[in-house]
A and B are shown apart, each in its own frame.
Chain A
Amino acid sequence: MPILVKTHSSQQTPEWAIIELQGDLEVRSNQDMHDQFIGDLSYNKYGQPILIIGHHILQGREQKLDKPFAVLEKSKTNEGQQLLANVDATLDATTLNTTGAERTLLDNTVALEHKSRQRTEYTVRAICTKKLIFKSRPKPIIANVAKSV
């Protein structure tokens, strides 16, 4: 049974942004990071994004994505498998290629079974066509330099 990916017309599909950082954002302690402040994003007058995280400053640039992203959200259901998560698992199964009609028939009956209970759906929440990419190494900010007298 196909899994529907619902879309809305372009007016209702907002444009979201992606900020691409090299590497990971990590915190030293095992602190819960939900809702915690990450950093300030500013732009200079030429449109270059500047991101300040802690005492690091990153300079990036705005880039159009060659291949835009769709943000898919899975509808909350208790039943049904999460299909996308199974992509890799199904890979092995198909390379085995047990031949003939027997297999397709089986797949089909399985598909028919699923019809009754699988209710997984995805919705395209947003489209991303641009990203801010920070490729360069973060530079440290040294704040308390003794003022020369």
Chain B
Amino acid sequence: MKMKWWKTLGIILVLYSIITGLLFPVPKLDILNETVRNLYFHVTMWFSMIFLMLLSMTNSLRFLSGFEKRFDLKAETYASTGLFIATLGLTTGMVWAQFTWGAFWVNDPKLNGAAVTMLIYLAYFILRNSIDNEESKARVSAVYNILAFVMMIVFIGILPRMTDSLHPGNGGNPGFSNYDLDSSMRMVFYPAVIGWILIGTWIAEISYRIKVLDFNKENN
């Protein structure tokens, strides 16, 4: 089988981040200790999710400009894969929070924003399933999906930055660039982000192809 190059690249990058993420030196920080390495695994989930939601949104836009069914199907698949990865991000974040902030859930704007974002995307699937007419289902959910993406940016990208947050880079907290002076963490973090984005896209691609097979089977 001919593997697409970006799938292989995704595997290599994530494997690299697992090995170097545990072995490379990290800055010594109070409270965080070795858990700072979670940056390579927990934060990358969110980057991957945001990228998948972006793909979902662009496919909704493409659907609205030509009303081709396949773009609607793509938008749905990317959103569901994105939601799955967000669930992983949320659960890993809860474990990390328990051991650094002392509770599985703290009243942090970023946490609540992430939760609201997930509810917004859950509503997208409820909306889809509540409309019987295929044509109007695709149109209404495409419009809603664009709104959902904008709300996601507001809730996890803008609002947490405007108030106090426990997350780095928010509310006057230093981002990781401030304590990562020798850039040793970036060497692992950025490849990990790209790797997880590629793997997330890969999973979505497979799930889309299965849906197309299903669709063709039903219509034959």
Do A and B come together as binding partners? no
Interface residues of B (CB under 8 A from A): none
